[in-house]
Amino acid sequence: GDSVTQMEGPVTLSEEAFLTINCTYTATGYPSLFWYVQYPGEGLQLLLKATKADDKGSNKGFEATYRKETTSFHLEKGSVQVSDSAVYFCALMNYGGSQGNLIFGKGTKLSVKP
Amino acid sequence: DAGVIQSPRHEVTEMGQEVTLRCKPISGHDYLFWYRQTMMRGLELLIYFNNNVPIDDSGMPEDRFSAKMPNASFSTLKIQPSEPRDSAVYFCASRGTGTRTEAFFGQGTRLTVV
């Protein structure tokens, strides 16, 4: 079945450091890929998405590129801030037929120190 | 739109009691999902509906759990009888039918069974 694997956390960085959170997936067909973010005590919010190969999703300085050849969707940010501290989830969604649910990775907790 | 609305935000109940969690999806969305989040298991899909019909309930842990969607604007997740191991944050999410659409999450219900 479809699945998502993301790097284990927690990840601790200093402010202005470069961030990479790795995400790889297994899926049939051509899923859409997502990064969601969860701040403490809140629900999940969509951070960015890509719907086809080579698409780059971007938002709030975060970027991720849909790489079909490596089945990856790594999240990057050039300079993190304390306010980026949160849990980040990589997810995929296959469409059509009985498929239509989001499949999540286990999440990666990011802590950014001033 | 107010987004996905869940109630209550917090619920504390005694073991053996019935618990009902409620969700109002975003108007016009055709899919509704129920997830459970715990430290040990991460995010688990319990069940999802399409046009008020349950599509996949394979994630429902056992017969103590049931979910209904009587109309397009309301869903419930019921646990009867509740047990301490049911303690978790329960999220509801919804999405539209359009291709490549993302899911939107509610704030969650934090359930504590003592």
pLDDT score recorded for residue B39: 87
Residue B37 clears pLDDT 80, i.e. is over it: yes
Strands B10-13 and B109-113: parallel
Could you give the 3-state DSSP secondary structure of residue A82? helix
- From B88, B112, B107, select the one nearest B17 (Cα to Cα): B112
Q: Is residue B89 a contact partner of residue B109, using CB atoms and an 8 Å limit?
A: yes
pLDDT tens-digit series, residues A26-36? 988 789 999 99
- From B23, B25, B113, select the one nearest B64 (Cα to Cα): B113
φ, ψ of residue B6 in degrees (nearest 5) = -115, 145
By CB neighbour count within 10 A (0-12 exposed, 13-18 middle, 19+ buried), where does A56 fall? exposed
- From A10, A32, A28, select the one nearest A19 (Cα to Cα): A10
Number of helical H runs and strand E runs in chain A: 0, 12
Residue B92 clears pLDDT 80, i.e. is over it: yes
Could you give the 3-state DSSP secondary structure of residue B112? strand
pLDDT tens-digit series, residues A21-68? 999 999 887 899 999 999 988 899 999 999 999 999 999 999 999 999
**Which residue, chain included where needed, has tokens 């999540």?**
A104
Contacts of A51 in chain B (CB under 8 A): 99-100
Task: Give me B7's structure tokens.
Answer: 């109630």
Smallest CA–CA separation between A5 and chain B, in Å? 13
Residue to mutate among B9, B36, B43, B95, with most A CBs inside 10 A, is B43
| Residue B105 CB-half CA count within 13 A | 24
Residue A100 clears pLDDT 80, i.e. is over it: no
**pLDDT class for B42, splitting at 50, 70, 90?**
confident
pLDDT score recorded for residue B111: 98
Across all residues in chain A, what is the average pLDDT? 92
pLDDT tens-digit series, residues B55-64? 999 999 889 9
pLDDT score recorded for residue B41: 87
Residue B102 clears pLDDT 90, i.e. is over it: no
Contacts of A45 in chain B (CB under 8 A): 105
Residue B11 clears pLDDT 90, i.e. is over it: yes
